[in-house]
Amino acid sequence: MKLQDILHKVRAGELSVTEAETAIRGFEDLGFGKVDYARESRTGYPEVIFGQGKTPEQVQAIFVRLHEKHGKVMVTRADRSMYELVREAVPDAVYDEMSRLLTVGSCERRFAGKVAVVSAGTADLPVAEEAARTAEWMGNEVDRIYDVGVAGIDRLLAQRERIREASVVIVVAGMEGALGSVIGGLVRRPVVAVPTSVGYGAHFGGLTPLLSMLTSCAAGVTVVNIDNGFGAAFSASIIQQAILEGAS
Amino acid sequence: MKLQDILHKVRAGELSVTEAETAIRGFEDLGFGKVDYARESRTGYPEVIFGQGKTPEQVQAIFVRLHEKHGKVMVTRADRSMYELVREAVPDAVYDEMSRLLTVGSCERRFAGKVAVVSAGTADLPVAEEAARTAEWMGNEVDRIYDVGVAGIDRLLAQRERIREASVVIVVAGMEGALGSVIGGLVRRPVVAVPTSVGYGAHFGGLTPLLSMLTSCAAGVTVVNIDNGFGAAFSASIIQQAILEGAS
Amino acid sequence: MKLQDILHKVRAGELSVTEAETAIRGFEDLGFGKVDYARESRTGYPEVIFGQGKTPEQVQAIFVRLHEKHGKVMVTRADRSMYELVREAVPDAVYDEMSRLLTVGSCERRFAGKVAVVSAGTADLPVAEEAARTAEWMGNEVDRIYDVGVAGIDRLLAQRERIREASVVIVVAGMEGALGSVIGGLVRRPVVAVPTSVGYGAHFGGLTPLLSMLTSCAAGVTVVNIDNGFGAAFSASIIQQAILEGAS
Amino acid sequence: MKLQDILHKVRAGELSVTEAETAIRGFEDLGFGKVDYARESRTGYPEVIFGQGKTPEQVQAIFVRLHEKHGKVMVTRADRSMYELVREAVPDAVYDEMSRLLTVGSCERRFAGKVAVVSAGTADLPVAEEAARTAEWMGNEVDRIYDVGVAGIDRLLAQRERIREASVVIVVAGMEGALGSVIGGLVRRPVVAVPTSVGYGAHFGGLTPLLSMLTSCAAGVTVVNIDNGFGAAFSASIIQQAILEGAS
Amino acid sequence: MKLQDILHKVRAGELSVTEAETAIRGFEDLGFGKVDYARESRTGYPEVIFGQGKTPEQVQAIFVRLHEKHGKVMVTRADRSMYELVREAVPDAVYDEMSRLLTVGSCERRFAGKVAVVSAGTADLPVAEEAARTAEWMGNEVDRIYDVGVAGIDRLLAQRERIREASVVIVVAGMEGALGSVIGGLVRRPVVAVPTSVGYGAHFGGLTPLLSMLTSCAAGVTVVNIDNGFGAAFSASIIQQAILEGAS
Amino acid sequence: MKLQDILHKVRAGELSVTEAETAIRGFEDLGFGKVDYARESRTGYPEVIFGQGKTPEQVQAIFVRLHEKHGKVMVTRADRSMYELVREAVPDAVYDEMSRLLTVGSCERRFAGKVAVVSAGTADLPVAEEAARTAEWMGNEVDRIYDVGVAGIDRLLAQRERIREASVVIVVAGMEGALGSVIGGLVRRPVVAVPTSVGYGAHFGGLTPLLSMLTSCAAGVTVVNIDNGFGAAFSASIIQQAILEGAS
Amino acid sequence: MKLQDILHKVRAGELSVTEAETAIRGFEDLGFGKVDYARESRTGYPEVIFGQGKTPEQVQAIFVRLHEKHGKVMVTRADRSMYELVREAVPDAVYDEMSRLLTVGSCERRFAGKVAVVSAGTADLPVAEEAARTAEWMGNEVDRIYDVGVAGIDRLLAQRERIREASVVIVVAGMEGALGSVIGGLVRRPVVAVPTSVGYGAHFGGLTPLLSMLTSCAAGVTVVNIDNGFGAAFSASIIQQAILEGAS
Amino acid sequence: MKLQDILHKVRAGELSVTEAETAIRGFEDLGFGKVDYARESRTGYPEVIFGQGKTPEQVQAIFVRLHEKHGKVMVTRADRSMYELVREAVPDAVYDEMSRLLTVGSCERRFAGKVAVVSAGTADLPVAEEAARTAEWMGNEVDRIYDVGVAGIDRLLAQRERIREASVVIVVAGMEGALGSVIGGLVRRPVVAVPTSVGYGAHFGGLTPLLSMLTSCAAGVTVVNIDNGFGAAFSASIIQQAILEGAS
């Protein structure tokens, strides 16, 4: 809707002043937060809700508005109480216990290449699934290659070709995080490494694989925050987007 | 050179056993290290020498062999004594005091898009230049946008369009590293953030901007090690490569 | 009450020895703690109760005594069980779940200038509200500017003038805390930055924004403890007081 | 100079294109950095040069331009080699070995109130002097109260009245930094605490007094980075400025 | 009981082999632990049970045996479930909720001098009481001086003489722990400082007052572990013992 | 089963394709994880399940398959809910509450020498038992020597000969972990030290004994992760294996 | 000199105003520091100069004044340049290279009991000597028991009786600092533990023995800062003083 | 020499009292240290001198005595000045610049199996050589396998059989230390991992590979201190010794 149209409608009484303000500024102010409607046109993706630290009521309010506007919504780090409240308003909403993603709809599949999500152990699954499902929601085909930690290197090497076929590789690993370095040395494509909080003792809640991935002896590996499967998938998607669009 | 050819030449006495071994295995064993000749065919780039912790004699020995093989060599974190010794053997070698890169030759320019190297302050220049010169050596056109720290946000916003034109953005910042988040929110392309050791006190040698960039509130930002301009440029180059080649 | 009057009353049997002792020393000893009645005359503000680590019984006892003396009381980091017990004795007491402030009465509005409380995200609200409500309780007009994190810099810049109108600016931010630096570069007035424990992984419970704010590249930013909205508001108030009184 | 005047002069050939660009944009681009000429009109103070990490040549270049523009310049964390080079171009430049400040000229004295700089021990002098001389350069009257650490509390209490007379108090302390809490409890005015790197062992280069000042049991104390005497003086000056101007 | 007597009794069948073994070796092996009966004769105090990490059954078993032997027992860091089980066997056992001490009996009062236990805030009481009650159990007269934190220095100075009268001073403080330094500068007697876990944010569970007390600018202050009221009281008691016995 | 046999059976329809795939590759892919059947033939021990972070359903599924294959299974860091589910399928499964080991069957006793498990205090028992029971399950004779911390050095020295008789010594200690150094100086055999999370305050969840054991002044001590009794027992077993087999 | 006498002398012109001020206030203000002349009468010991961070000129100035006043002076952490300058003014000054103590004169021997200084290794000697020589300077008889680290426990046990004869024991140890715990379990007298910076890697400059000593499983051990031999000796001396004077 | 013989010789005047004391106690007291002559008979190896922190004079004195006694000596972390002084007294002494080992003589080759020393990069050579040369000095055959970091996994896998032939494997790696995990999963023999200080930034002087190796997902890996090549070789030798002697 163009600015002139909005103003005409206000004059005609077809649009309230508040509605008009939201349409012009591109976001709506809910008091406790500002819902950004213009993000999809600016960046290609609608705003994603970071659930942690928000009340279920806040999540519901933002969810409903984004759903009305875009028809698709994603909440990360959601819990069951958020889901309960959201589905009262949006019955199609889906909650995945493992990845803690609460979604409705999704972006259509749009990229030619695949994103590989490679994980070290079974306990890394929640983060790996956060990455995989986020990537799918953002329009990527995803190849899941799980439980191939470096302690059994042959198990990993057996997947070498499959990993090399991806356009971007997301590596999810807790413990010492060595999988990042080994895969970084195997592929020609960007590797985004996600340390996880899976471990104990000298693992310090993920600090060890985080530091380990940052000091990787393999070039071409970049790192995101501990357990940030979402962030890795987001970065993978914008790399896919850049590949799709070619040199900007 | 194919395996059969190598073996024929060995039988004909045209190739020594050692030369043949190197050719077949793809690397030469110098005792203190193994020079990897096959890397360019595997990954598109010849091996890069990490200078720190090596003696000038070791650097010279590897440099000479890589030069003979590929015609182009790069040493990171080189010091002047390495340069002195290398140029005795390879007079065309060039040493850049600021970035501590020691090079000869370079990859030809090959990508359509640009890599933007954006830095926060004058003291971040050594790292920014390591990134920029590495990217250039690897075949990228580089746009340097320096001294645009967030304390003067208008100075940064004045460069907004220029930054958005790049295919990949490298952000180099010390102090609190806030530049990563701000630029992450401004562009649609992958951002690789490099924390630097520029700062003092609670900066802890770069730990603060490192943590800050990892916990960035902007999605799409991935991080490399403190002062690792080389690593950022390498990642940017393989993203460029993926764009060039399209979906693999 | 002057010392002579007190002593006359003791002699006349109108004041018990204990009451007289409290009046002379300015504080009452409850065994587990000492209630400071003289603070308001010394500093302009009555004693504020730090709730954490105290039993509800202790909080109630101190609350009642301060209420009798000053007619206004504030407890920070209060929980619901403290509230339950306090309102049995002081029915007018008010508890705000989000900011965890338990209060009765307040200082009258006294300053000409405003305190702006600017926060980065919705999850920072509890700390922002602790700051805002403390500032109001201490007699300040407060302008709340919430959810303007740097990942969407335009959303923040849209509030630039409003922020610049404040006499003191309190910045509340978790994640990487970059908002402190950006606002520090936008305003001419003192900025008090409050890092919050909102985040995960490499955020280390608020350590990252704390370090980030301390190493800010913008001058004029000072920092208080993680989640210490109260402390920021207190500092803002004494700056307001200094402005009100002019050069001491 | 107004925009029209600038453009007229360009047309008349009285101003080069580069000079005009600098005048319009408010800063000059030296390649390695951008000199900000507009800062004084925006914030009341010209740009201050952070010397650490800059080459003497870079410092000289920026110093000369700022001197031409404003007639007064300050470099913090300067070393003797910077001074040598600067005074070749600006013979009036003054270098103070202890505080490592390199200056020429200064702002005129403008505030009615005083800034007290209180330090704990003789070894804290370099930081205390950085604070005191910066405050003086920015137009404050400074009262130096040195060597009054809490281990001899009577020595400190003897200065109580003198400290209470200041409009803003800067506390400089290494070791355990307890001076911040004690003074925070003694005064009614804003206290800016500066931890110093003076100490050894469990002092960890200033981390201990930094954490100590942040967790101070006295309200009204805000903190700047380790050894950041400049930052404390800058904050004190803008508080003085706010007092001078009254409610904005 | 002398060795010969024991052996005679074994031969006479008056003592089982196990009882004799315990009597000779000085401790009894319960499988999960060894109860040390000889400690009182060696050190002047019977073994004290560290409750944390032990099961209630283990605590009960050791308690009963020590009670039979010495008539007095102390468990530190006990919880209610330990108390429930112990009093089934030893009905006179006493549990103090605040200090988490579970005791029966006590050493007789034996020292001429007093131990002062000085604490900074009300929330430090559990640790202060662990120190005070341990000291009392070990035969000391204790003077409790609570809630005299340095933020109100006059409140502390008012107790100066009382503190100076003690033979040993235990200082218990959380937050920034400055009380240790201030008292260290006030007295001529040994000061044992106990940092507490009372605080939040940059306090890091007591790390800050621990480091602060270790780097105290006052000489004569030694430090024990965070929240280790018991250890401080134990050290104070052996200093008292040394005073009582004079030079060994 | 040889490859030819497998293929013949597939052709004959006696083996499904999935079964054949598992037999050839040596592991079965359960989607969330890969069960490694070939490990026993490769390393002498079947795969051990790390329970932490797995769901009870996942543990059950892997347990059942390993049980069918090897007749013996071990899960470390198991909880009761895993046990409940596993024994539905494998009624002989045994769960030890203290060590959190869930097992069925065990390796037969095979080594001539003993493994000594020496622990410092009663609270270290869960880790000591994890080590002792793992070592037994792997075929070792174990000598448990518990509660011999260095604070009572005679109690430890009384066990000196018994400790020296072992082929490998596992030392389990929390608090400051000094037992590692003292035993390292007493024996001629390999010592594997396990720091435990038993302690509080400056113990930082086991960091202190971990660092202490790593910097031990006694040579011949190597270290595993905090609370990793399993890892220590595993290392002890392969040393026993090497002794059994002699020089490889 | 009594106050009346001072004032009479001022009136008579026998004392300058500055001299009188110093005599009344008990300290002299040198601008960069305040020399405390009254400390000996207050605490039994004259002020000790902490050399680190002071210029040689500052050390000399304070040294000379204290020497005039008390006839004995001690500087800790002195370097050779301080010594050079001091002996120009005070030729009897003595410098000990190893302990870095610069002294003249000393307190007379006054205590009946001995202070034992026990150290773990040869490299700990500088700290052990700082402790031993400080204790001697303060009037203690010192028994040096060096190089008895726990890796050779018999070497230590051979000294058991000698250690038990001391009134106070100072334990100096680097590496993992286990000596503190072992000696804490051997003696009945107060133990003051000094961690040293002797070590490498996971020793982190003394952090490891510091934490280790704080979490010691032996009661009766208190701790001072890393390398703080002086502080340990000072504490030992005031314990000796308390023993000498009996209950205060 | 038996005790009777010694005493006879003393009586006969053939042995001085000091010589007799040394012979009986097994060590000689040099004042600054105690030289342990009995260690070889106790542990199979003579005392090794830890050079760091000792003066060249101290090293020389101990070296000479051990040489007289055993005919072979090793100093670790020696520097050139120690070598200069030692060879004045022992001309056969040999100094290896890279490993910083100063030796004379060596133990004879005694074990059947080999120790493999595997290192990740060229810069790890000093530590790898410390391990290799120590192992050789202690009587092991050593197989050096250098520069096989995981970034080029094929280079490592090519050495798989060679590594599997060793009785004990020492893994030396800096950067992220992933080599420990990968080799831990490849071999059936004990792996001793040595993190090195080779790296920068988030490597924190070796902390990252240290933590990484401790949290390795491969069982059978134990860890020694950063850069402790000596310790790893010592542990490998006692494992070899255990293999040689069979079950004790």
Tokens of E61: 């078993």
Q: Measured in Å, how far apart are chain B's first and last C-alpha atoms?
A: 26
Give yes or no for a contact between H127 and H227, defined as CB atoms under 8 angstroms apart: yes
Residue G206 has pLDDT above 80, yes or no: yes
When pLDDT is cut at 50, 70 and 90, the band that residue D11 belongs to is: confident
Give C77's contacts in chain E (Cβ within 8 Å). 200
State the pTM of this model. Answer: 0.94
By Cβ distance, the residue of C175, C185, C219 closest to B217 is C175
Pairs across A and F, CB distance < 8 A = 47
**Which site among F155, F217, F221 would you substitute to test the G interface, given the most G Cβ atoms closer than 10 Å to its Cβ?**
F217
Give E198's contacts in chain C (Cβ within 8 Å). 52-53
> CA of A128, closest CA in chain H: separation in Å?
18
Would you call G219 and E231 a contact, using CB atoms and an 8 Å cutoff? Answer: yes
Give yes or no for a contact between G98 and G126, defined as CB atoms under 8 angstroms apart: yes
**pLDDT given for residue C247 in this prediction:** 63
Distance CA G18, CA G30 (A): 11
Residues of A with CB under 8 A from a CB of H: 120-121, 149-153, 157, 175-178, 180-182, 184-186, 199, 201-204, 207-209, 211-219
Distance CA G112, CA E246 (A): 9
Per residue in E142-168, pLDDT (tens digit) is 999 999 999 888 889 989 999 999 999
Distance CA G219, CA D53 (A): 49
Pairs across E and G, CB distance < 8 A = 113
DSSP C107: P
Residue of C nearest to E176 (CA): C225
Distance CA H192, CA H235 (A): 8
When pLDDT is cut at 50, 70 and 90, the band that residue A3 belongs to is: confident
Residues of D with CB under 8 A from a CB of C: 42-44, 48, 111-113, 164-168, 188-190, 192, 210, 214-215, 219-225, 230-232, 234-235, 238-239, 241-244, 246-248
Give C212's contacts in chain B (Cβ within 8 Å). 176-178, 208-209, 211-212
When pLDDT is cut at 50, 70 and 90, the band that residue D93 belongs to is: very high
**pLDDT given for residue F247 in this prediction:** 62
Per-residue confidence of chain F (248 residues) as pLDDT tens digits?
677 788 788 888 888 887 887 877 778 888 888 888 888 877 778 889 999 999 999 999 999 999 998 999 999 999 999 999 999 999 999 999 999 999 999 988 889 899 999 999 999 999 999 999 999 999 999 999 999 999 888 889 989 999 999 999 999 999 999 999 999 999 999 999 999 999 999 999 999 999 999 999 899 999 999 999 999 999 999 999 999 988 65
By Cβ distance, the residue of F25, F53, F205 closest to A198 is F53
Would you call F122 and E54 a contact, using CB atoms and an 8 Å cutoff? Answer: yes
Mean pLDDT of D235-241: 95
Helix (H) or strand (E) holding H18: helix H17-25
Give yes or no for a contact between C138 and C110, defined as CB atoms under 8 angstroms apart: no
Structural domain spans, chain G: 31-104, 114-247
Tokens of D182: 């004690």
**pLDDT given for residue H26 in this prediction:** 79
When pLDDT is cut at 50, 70 and 90, the band that residue A247 belongs to is: low
Physical contact, C and E (3 or more Cβ pairs within 8 A): yes
Would you call E32 and F158 a contact, using CB atoms and an 8 Å cutoff? Answer: no
Distance CA G237, CA G242 (A): 9
Identify which of E140, E121, E105 has the alpha carbon closest to the alpha carbon of residue E234: E140
Q: Starting at the earlier edge strand, list the strands of the sheet with E114-119.
A: E141-145, E114-119, E168-173, E191-195, E221-223, G221-223, G191-195, G168-173, G114-119, G141-145
List of chains touching E (3+ CB pairs within 8 A): C, D, F, G
**pLDDT given for residue D97 in this prediction:** 96
Give D164's contacts in chain E (Cβ within 8 Å). none
Sign (positive or negative) of CA dihedral C69, C70, C72, C75: negative
> CA of H140, closest CA in chain A: separation in Å?
28
Distance CA B236, CA C8 (A): 85
**pLDDT given for residue E152 in this prediction:** 84
Highest mean pLDDT among B24-33, F70-79, H13-22: F70-79
List of chains touching H (3+ CB pairs within 8 A): A, B, F, G
Cα-based distances in Å from B180 to B150, B191, B215, C122, C199: 10, 8, 10, 21, 17
Residue position matching structure tokens 């931010």 = C173
Q: CB within 8 A of E138, min separation 6: which ones?
A: E45, E106, E107, E233, E234, E237
Distance CA A153, CA F42 (A): 13
When pLDDT is cut at 50, 70 and 90, the band that residue D247 belongs to is: low
Would you call A112 and B247 a contact, using CB atoms and an 8 Å cutoff? Answer: yes
- Alpha-carbon dihedral of residues G51, G54, G59, G60, nearest 10 degrees? 140
Cα-based distances in Å from H95 to B53, E12, F116, H69, H74: 20, 70, 40, 20, 10
Lowest mean pLDDT among B115-119, F178-182, H109-113: H109-113
By Cβ distance, the residue of H208, H213, H217 closest to A215 is H208
Residue G248 has pLDDT above 60, yes or no: no
Distance CA C241, CA C138 (A): 10
Residue A42 has pLDDT above 80, yes or no: no
Lowest mean pLDDT among A100-109, C36-45, D199-208: C36-45
More confident residue, E138 or H32: E138
Q: Starting at the earlier edge strand, list the strands of the sheet with H191-195.
A: F141-145, F114-119, F168-173, F191-195, F221-223, H221-223, H191-195, H168-173, H114-119, H141-145
Identify which of D115, D68, D113, D76 has the alpha carbon closest to the alpha carbon of residue D96: D76
Residue position matching structure tokens 């034109």 = B165
> CA of C106, closest CA in chain A: separation in Å?
24
DSSP string for residues in H196-237 = -S---GGGGGGHHHHHHHHT-SSTTEEE--TT-HHHHHHHHH
By Cβ distance, the residue of H121, H186, H213 closest to A217 is H121
Residue C209 burial (CB < 10 Å; 0-12/13-18/19+)?
A: buried
Distance CA D122, CA D133 (A): 17
Q: Which amino acid is at C98?
A: M
Give yes or no for a contact between C108 and C97, defined as CB atoms under 8 angstroms apart: no
> Whole-number mean pLDDT of chain H?
92
Would you call C151 and B120 a contact, using CB atoms and an 8 Å cutoff? Answer: no
Cα-based distances in Å from A19 to A2, A7, A152, D191: 14, 11, 59, 46
Would you call A33 and C146 a contact, using CB atoms and an 8 Å cutoff? Answer: yes
Physical contact, E and G (3 or more Cβ pairs within 8 A): yes
Give H113's contacts in chain F (Cβ within 8 Å). 246-248
Identify which of A68, A79, A128 has the alpha carbon closest to the alpha carbon of residue A101: A79
**Which site among B77, B137, B140, B222 would you substitute to test the A interface, given the most A Cβ atoms closer than 10 Å to its Cβ?**
B222
More confident residue, E19 or B192: B192
Distance CA B190, CA B182 (A): 13
Per residue in E190-204, pLDDT (tens digit) is 999 999 999 999 999
Give A219's contacts in chain H (Cβ within 8 Å). 151
- Ranges of residues in chain C with a pLDDT under 50 are none
Measured in whole angstroms, how far is the alpha carbon of residue G57 from the centre of its chain? 22
Give B248's contacts in chain A (Cβ within 8 Å). 113, 165-167, 189
Report the CATH fold assignment for C114-247. Rossmann fold (3.40.50)
**pLDDT given for residue G1 in this prediction:** 65
> CA of F202, closest CA in chain E: separation in Å?
6
Physical contact, H and F (3 or more Cβ pairs within 8 A): yes
Residue H248 has pLDDT above 60, yes or no: no
When pLDDT is cut at 50, 70 and 90, the band that residue G151 belongs to is: confident
Question: Where would I find the H helices in D151-221?
Answer: 153-157, 160-164, 179-184, 207-214
Identify which of E83, E43, E37, E76 has the alpha carbon closest to the alpha carbon of residue E60: E83
Identify which of C222, C210, C129 has the alpha carbon closest to the alpha carbon of residue C183: C222
By Cβ distance, the residue of H113, H235, H248 closest to F165 is H248
By Cβ distance, the residue of C34, C205, C225 closest to E147 is C34
Question: Where would I find the H helices in H55-124?
Answer: 56-70, 80-89
How do D141-145 and B49-50 pair as beta strands? unpaired
By Cβ distance, the residue of G121, G182, G207 closest to F150 is G182
Would you call D243 and C246 a contact, using CB atoms and an 8 Å cutoff? Answer: yes
List of chains touching C (3+ CB pairs within 8 A): A, B, D, E
**Which site among B122, B147, B148, B153 would you substitute to test the C interface, given the most C Cβ atoms closer than 10 Å to its Cβ?**
B153
Highest mean pLDDT among A3-17, B19-33, D220-234: D220-234
> CA of H63, closest CA in chain B: separation in Å?
30
The ipTM, to two decimals, is 0.92
DSSP A73: E
By Cβ distance, the residue of B27, B53, B228 closest to H198 is B53
By Cβ distance, the residue of G25, G32, G207 closest to D146 is G32
